[in-house]
Structure 1
């Protein structure tokens, strides 16, 4: 079997060079405004520890065994972001909360700290895969310690780090530039919608229309939504077989990034949720009344949902076809300006929602029907352009992720730097590390006996 690392390196368990230390279970009732910053999983952000988001605990709760030191590498050990890493850069005294792991070297003089950081980054996918093996994502220190890793001589570790320090910042710089694209596209789409609903998008078209037809289009109007939509009927249980089944759309069915219906549930009328009362038609616009700033808004664009049921958590808007295009209505509603306006009408603090009557009493700009068709056509064309750019962004982002992992893999196969025959052999280095490990474990056993 071909070796995947140089002859002068050694393979060993990760637990022979470091240990994963869990944090302390501080009580949330002890959190306060002033005191010692406490690092929780949510404070591990973008490869760093963000002290701006930490809570604090009183100075009297200082636990010296759980102080995080400058250069410590922390990992989320459970939850939705299990496996994310962050390095603490700073000298402020901060504490480590439970389920935040600290990957501590047995000897910083025998293993390069930055070699450890890059090594763990190269093992990211393996660590995350092992964490997601059970019902709940969870990192096991035992599994981490058992991972087999390559150990080069100490001086070679330093040369590898120097090489990676020269290469990876360029990858990060490219990624940082790339990460600006989603925000730019979001702003572009909103600019398109603002132009569409103000008349700027079709200003040239109106002039061409007048020249070609010899007629001036009617002026735009401001109309309340209820003046442009039909009444939606509710379910009448007297007219149905309770054992019949239907498709049910609730707020969780909406993808509020794409503003599309992604999923549905199936029920019999007998077991239907109490909110399953509104009959929907193909082409309806669903507008979530709850936390409207989340933009759970979508068109019923799949015919399979015709005459199916949606939650009363939506206002169902059915355009009067002789006055309003459903897609124009949809584009009017997902504008940031409109969302901001209706958000101010929400009532309730824990469950903020807008009343249906308040929503349908809002004004929207109404162009002539012919112009609505042209607006929809142009918006769809521009959105398709944005979508194609977004797809290219995703592919480029994926390529950069693979490039970084490929560079790390090359580094830990010993292909990035040349060996130096004058370096201390890795076998001798490992012996010294294991001696340090045994010494620290003896000291820890002594501390435990004194407690």
Structure 2
């Protein structure tokens, strides 16, 4: 008998509504006009990535701007589990893994488990219910999650409910097993991030020249014709050609409108993201078709020039960020001889394969570890219902 079988052998489980074992805190309505560049951090729905809390785009506030003494009710501490309550990220879960506290914004909810429920056990279980929670929120273009409905409709399995001490021991053992996989995945992801940053550094060094006899400066608008893709509906089945949206392949189609060329995210959360469209492919309106028009610039070299631009930071702001033709055409880049372009592309392609190819290296390892985690999570948390 395996350790997993021993752990779960003879364990009685009672399915309880979330509200029976967990309280819930809704966020505070911080005013966007009072956001600061430093101060006390605010966690918004955009900071929830589906697993963790991402502080790369965090906003801050000054407590003196608010005439209330109750802001302490909205503190987030290390180990708290949050959920996005509306918008495009509705239902996504985030684990707060930082030492310094932050504050809960409106449209973000915080779970407050009672004594019978291990917070990290709750976190792993919630990751299995993403689709259920999204449907509970109404789905569609404007989903909105009700905390009352979440507490009433979502059920969670509690082992040994009549023996809280034993119940928490079993929950902790399940957490320990699952955390082994998440920690390994986190380490591999951190290594991949470091390599990508290294890749970006070397790419910038290789593509930076002083203008001289062997190089010339050319606007991107003279290297590419940019054109938004076709159609708002994503073809998801059938056809020989991959469909590219704003960030990679999203379906299949029987037609193509671009071939062996970059695709740039045009609108939404992925505005400015650059992908390489291999072979014949179809680009939707969410992406930009990049058609090479300069004979002096190799296609793959031009692609690396696009990666260097960080179009996302230049996107027009608003509820739906977008990258205009003017933004794409404006940057002026240095272009060396074709021989030098070939040498640089050879180096960068090898680095790109190492860091981003899903079929080898770290990305493949991360994918395998994630599947392994999901397998054991399903095994450990799929208790039968009466």
Moved more, 294-303 or 280-289: 280-289
Residue aligned with 2:145, SS: coil
The equivalent of 2:302 in structure 1 is 330
Name the count of aligned residue pairs: 336
Decide whether the 8 Å contact of 2:259 with 2:279 is kept in 1. Answer: yes
What is the 5 A alignment of 1:173-322?
173-179=183-189, 180-185=191-196, 187-188=198-199, 191=202, 221-225=214-218, 249=229, 294=272, 296=274, 302=280, 317-320=292-295
The equivalent of 1:170 in structure 2 is 180
Match of 2:127 among 124, 127, 131: 124
Decide whether the 8 Å contact of 2:301 with 2:345 is kept in 1. Answer: no
Decide whether the 8 Å contact of 2:246 with 2:264 is kept in 1. Answer: no
The equivalent of 1:396 in structure 2 is 365
Distance 2:281 2:58 in 1: 48
Residue aligned with 1:12, SS: strand
Higher relative contact order (CA 8 A, sep 6+): 1
Structure 1 residues 96 and 194, CA, compared in 2 at 3 Å: closer, same or farther? Answer: closer
Length-normalised TM-score, structure 1: 0.53
The equivalent of 1:140 in structure 2 is 146
Distance 1:39 1:315 in 2: 36
The equivalent of 1:150 in structure 2 is 157
Offset of 1:31 from its aligned partner? 4.7
Q: Within the alignment, does 1:365 sit opposite 2:332 as a pair?
A: no
Distance 2:52 2:304 in 1: 39
Offset of 1:366 from its aligned partner? 0.8
Distance 1:18 1:87 in 2: 17
Structure 1 residues 181 and 155, CA, compared in 2 at 3 Å: closer, same or farther? Answer: same
The equivalent of 1:86 in structure 2 is 95
Decide whether the 8 Å contact of 2:224 with 2:294 is kept in 1. Answer: no
Larger radius of gyration: 1
Distance 1:390 1:405 in 2: 20
Structure 1 residues 54 and 67, CA, compared in 2 at 3 Å: closer, same or farther? Answer: same
Decide whether the 8 Å contact of 2:42 with 2:59 is kept in 1. Answer: no
Per-residue Cα deviation, 1:283-318 (whole angstroms, up to 9, x for no partner) = 88899999xx9465878964999xxxxx9x999652
Per-residue Cα deviation, 1:319-348 (whole angstroms, up to 9, x for no partner) = 23xxx3532552562463xx48x99xx9x9
Residue aligned with 1:79, SS: coil
Per-residue Cα deviation, 1:353-381 (whole angstroms, up to 9, x for no partner) = 5695x756x5411145xx76677677656
Offset of 1:175 from its aligned partner? 1.1
Q: Within the alignment, does 1:25 sit opposite 2:29 as a pair?
A: yes
Structure that is richer in helix per residue: 1
Offset of 1:86 from its aligned partner? 2.7
Distance 1:224 1:32 in 2: 39
Unaligned 5+ segments in structure 2 are: 1-7, 233-242
Decide whether the 8 Å contact of 2:41 with 2:103 is kept in 1. Answer: yes
Aligned-residue CA RMSD (Å) = 5.6
Residue aligned with 1:137, SS: coil
Structure 1 residues 261 and 158, CA, compared in 2 at 3 Å: closer, same or farther? Answer: closer
Offset of 1:184 from its aligned partner? 1.3
Per-residue Cα deviation, 1:260-295 (whole angstroms, up to 9, x for no partner) = 99999x9xxxxxxxxxxxxx99788899999xx946
The equivalent of 2:107 in structure 1 is 99
Q: Within the alignment, does 1:11 sit opposite 2:15 as a pair?
A: yes
Unaligned 5+ segments in structure 1 are: 199-219, 235-246, 267-279, 306-310, 415-451
Residue aligned with 1:98, SS: coil
Residue aligned with 1:221, SS: coil
Structure 1 residues 145 and 377, CA, compared in 2 at 3 Å: closer, same or farther? Answer: same
